[in-house]
Structure formats: C-alpha cells, structure tokens
Chains A and B, each alone.
Chain A
Amino acid sequence: MDLMSKLTISASMLLTGFAIVFGVLLFLILVIWGYGRIISSAQTKASNRTKKRAKIEKIAVKTVEKSGNMAAPVKTKPVITPKTSDEISDELVAVISAAVYSIYGSKDKVKIKSIKKSSGRSAWANAGVLHNTRPF
C-alpha cells in the first residue's frame, strides 16, 4: 500500500468512525432524554390525579359528617401514634414499631413518641457508602 492510499484509508476511517459513533450516541441522548421527559410527566400527572382524588374523598367525608347522616362513631380506645413527618409512611412506622416490639415484647412498657428522618448521613450510612464504593 503506498503512502497516498494509507493516508486516504486512515482519514476516511477516522472521519467515518467519529461521525457515526458520535451521531448514533447523540441521537440516543435525544431519544432517552425525550422518553424520560414523557414518562416523568405522565407519572407526575398520575400522582397529581391520585392526590386530587384523595382530596375530593376527604371533602366528601367532611360534608357527610356536617349533614349528620353518618352512623354513630364506634367508641374505641384512642391509639397513640408517634409523631411523624409527611415523608415517613405508615408502613415505615409499622415496621419500626414491630422491630421495637420484637425486642422489648409486651411486658416492657415502651412508647414510640416520634419518628424523625435524620438530616445528615449517619455514621452507619457513611460506613455503608464507604464499604460499597471502596475502589480496590
């Protein structure tokens, strides 16, 4: 192969490779970004709809209560629930309560007064992150 043919094949391969690899991957960026946006907005709409429905149901219950058409409330012992923020789900409260109960049992009188989400990363979480991201 003479020098000219070597230069020709080298330049055409560099140009073709560069153009196709970048072209295809840039196209993929657009596609992934696009469908990510579509799915995110669809999911946000769905969650808004659920919230709206819950709000309507709440208003409906209140209206029925005001009109006095409700059955007499059943008297039960008040259940003391721990103070929690909105971020903590009922399931999480149940799990934590069950864990506390499994340790102390019913004999010890233990109350969970509140469950709070800690702001920073705890020492245990830091240890976990370090363990999982330690390179070598």
Chain B
Amino acid sequence: MEIIQNFIDAIVGIFRESGLMSLGWQNYVMIAVACVLFFLAIKKQYEPLLLLPIAFGMLLVNLYPSIMAAPETTLMSAEECIAAKGTVEGYATTIMDGVTYYNVPHYGGLFYYLYQGVKLGIYPPLIFLGVGAMTDFGPLIANPKSFILGAAAQIGIFVTFIGAIFLGFTNAQSGAISIIGGADGPTAIFVTTKLAPELLGSIAIAAYSYMALVPIIQPPIMRALTTKKERAVVMEQLRPVSKLEKIIFPVVIVVIISILLPDAAPLVGMLMFGNLLKESGVCDRLSKTAQNELMNIITIFLGTTVGATATGANFLSFNTLKIIALGLIAFMMGSAFGVVFGKLMYKFTGGKVNPLIGSAGVSAVPMAARVSQKVGQEENPGNFLLMHAMGPNVAGVIGSAVAAGVLLNVLK
C-alpha cells in the first residue's frame, strides 16, 4: 500500500513540477514565436547561423525558465540545513542576533552563466575579432571616400532616436533602440547591454531579423531614390592596395578611434586586432581560429543566451511592437541616407560614382554590398559593383561602432 502511495506522490510531484503546471500563456506564445523563427532560419535561410541559436534559446527558456535563473543563497538554521542537506559542514555561516545561520547556495541555470558574456560586454567584441579577421579593408583603403557613405548610413540611427523619445522611451532606451539602424548585431547587443538591458531580447531579434531581410527591404528604397541612368553607372576599377597599407590600416584606425571615442574602443579595437592578425600574415593560426572556431563558439553562446532573454513576460508587450516598428524605420532611413549621399557623390564626381553603393553603408556585411551588386546588374548585367560596394559596407561597420561610441558617451 505504501509503495503505491509513494508512486502516486512521485507522479503528482513530477506533474506539479512540470511545465504543464508552471508555464503561463505567454510562454506558449513565445514557443510559437520560436517555431516561426525556426521556420525562417531553416526553410527561408534568413541569417540561420544566428536566428537558429536565438530561436532555440527562446524555446528553451520558455519551456524551462529556471535555465536563466540567477544563483541565490538561502540562510538556514542548523536544523533546517541538516534536514535539507544532511550536514552543516562546508557551508559558510552568518551570525544574526546571536543565531548562527548557514549560507546554502542554489546555483544558477546554465544560460545564466553563459549570459554573463553578453551582460559584461564580452561576446560582441569577440565576434568583432572574428569579423575583423574575415574582412578585407582593401576596397575601403583604395577608395577612402567610401567612409562618407558609411557615415551617411548612420544618420538613420540618430533620426530614429527622436522617434523613440517621442514614443515614450527613456533616453537610454531610445539610444539602444536606434542602434538597430546600424544593422550590426554585435554593436546593437553591446550598446543595449550597457544602456537598456531590459530590452535586449526585443532589440537583438529585431536587429537580426532586419539584417536577414536586407534583400527585401533595401531594393525598393534604392530604386525609388535613383534614376535608371544613375543605376547603370559603371565605376572605374579600384587601384591595387599594397600589403603595407593593409597592415598599417588597422593600427591607424584603432589609434584614432580609441583616442577620439574611447567608448568605441572595445568594438573597433577587436575588429582591427582581428584584421591585423589576418593582414600581418604571420599569425595564420590565430587568424584562422578567430575566423572559425572562436567565432562559432561565441555565436552559439551569444545566440542562445540572447534568445533566452526573450521570455514571455519580457517580450510580449506593446514596447516590443514599438521597437520592431522603430527598428524598421531606422534601417530604412539608414539605407535611404546612404543612397542620397551616393547621389551627391554621383553629382560631385561628374557621374563616376554609382549611388547604389550608398545603401551598402549600413553595415550588414556582405549582404548589403551584394544587394547593391544585384540591383546594379538589373540595369546593366555587365556591371560589377560588388567590390565598390564593399568599401562603404566595411566603412559602415566602423561607422556604426563610432555611432555606438557616441550613444554610449552621451547617454551612459
């Protein structure tokens, strides 16, 4: 009889502990959202390397919220400690009002510890290390004027800031939301963890979703702002860049940016360190590790833990809708300002610059440059804009890091 009672108690206990009893409706909605993201990542292949870990982190935290639980310490009397743990040995003590209490630790969930890399701003610079090791700044060095387009595409960030302020967000939250316009995931995460960590899930998901949607969002804007003649411009071949120039570039950039904008130093510093590893040609092993193993490991940690911040209670709010709308505006404005400045360069150079490369100033590398190439080839199939668009594209990475430095400096 006792055996059956124990069996029933165990089953009831398991049922009470199960998700069926503890999960709210918000969790089930978030599980559905995670499934939609799985579909977009796997079937549509929208930024799958990031969207898939984000979606899985979201799924897991809504099934088992304790996976993000912070560690705690419970104060127990000697009797309670013995009843719970069987011994008092090995536990630190606290004496209050003459009574000795034992500090019994409860460890945090797996994602809590992995999330510290996001919270402390460790993962985004490490991702930038890998990005730097994969990036060829040659097109930008050959045509430094591309920096103008990289800067123009950042205007969207500051215009969206105004929209966020008027929608009722605080200054810091507005800064974090507006950085979505930089179209740079690690920068968006870096800024958000410092300015508005409570919005991290919504901002990261919006940023990566829009980056994945670059081929859909940008072409109509590019076509609307340019004429057929401008889109058909064939640009002159870029000059070859010597190895010495490529080696000096990261050192010069890191020195200038770190002195002028110290808040951008972690991002730009790691980006340029990765690039120096590649260009120096003497650290092949380190460069390959930064590009592959390290980048992949950090991507897994970053994706899953950022996804895990999107719990039902955090994510399902009117603010998320506002962030998604503002993010889209920021992104569209960035692309539009890039094209408008491209048109200005077209005018000033007497028609030598194709304005389509301006939209690549948003830093979604290399997707934005590929969009310029695609739209350009629609007008002239023999036109190869890719390398010309890579200049503004990598300038956009530096530009968004500079914009992040400005936001952090002013709003922190």
Contact = CB atoms under 8 A, between A and B. Distances in A.
Interface string A23-34: 011111101110
Interface in B112-156: 140-141, 144-145, 147-148, 150-151, 154-155
Interface string A43-56: 10000000000000
Interface residues of A, number: 30
11 contacts: A14-B158, A17-B158, A17-B406, A25-B399, A26-B148, A26-B151, A27-B260, A28-B256, A35-B245, A133-B384, A136-B370
A135 B374 contact: yes
Interface string B138-180: 0011001101101100110111011001100001000100000
Interface in A91-136: 129, 133, 135-136
Nearest to A33: B144
Contact of A39 (B157, B248, B395, B407): B248
Interface string B359-382: 000000000001101100100000
Given A17-B154, A24-B257, A29-B144, 7 more contacts: A9-B171, A13-B410, A14-B162, A21-B399, A28-B256, A33-B144, A135-B373
A16 B171 CA distance: 14
A21 B145 contact: no
A20 B166 CA distance: 23
Contact of A20 (B145, B395, B402): B402
B256 to A, nearest CB: 6
Given A17-B406, A25-B398, A36-B144, A10 B165 contact: yes
A9 B144 contact: no
Nearest to A31: B252
Interface in B189-234: 215
- SS of B interface (majority): helix
Contacts of B150: 25
A18 B158 contact: yes
Contacts of B145: 29
A29 B165 CA distance: 33
Contact of B373 (A26, A28, A133): A133
A22 B402 CA distance: 10
Given A14-B159, A27-B256, A28-B144, A135 B245 contact: no
A20 B261 contact: yes
Interface of A: 1, 6, 9-10, 13-14, 16-18, 20-22, 24-29, 31-33, 35-36, 39-40, 43, 129, 133, 135-136
**8 A-B pairs closest in CB distance:** A17-B158, A135-B374, A10-B162, A32-B144, A25-B147, A25-B151, A135-B370, A29-B144
Contacts of A13: 158, 161-162, 175, 410
Nearest to A6: B165
Contacts of B298: none
A135 B371 contact: yes
A18 B371 contact: no
A26 B242 CA distance: 22
Contacts of A33: 144
B370 A32 contact: no
A133 B386 contact: yes
Given A21-B154, A39-B244, A133-B386, A16 B402 contact: no
Nearest to B248: A35
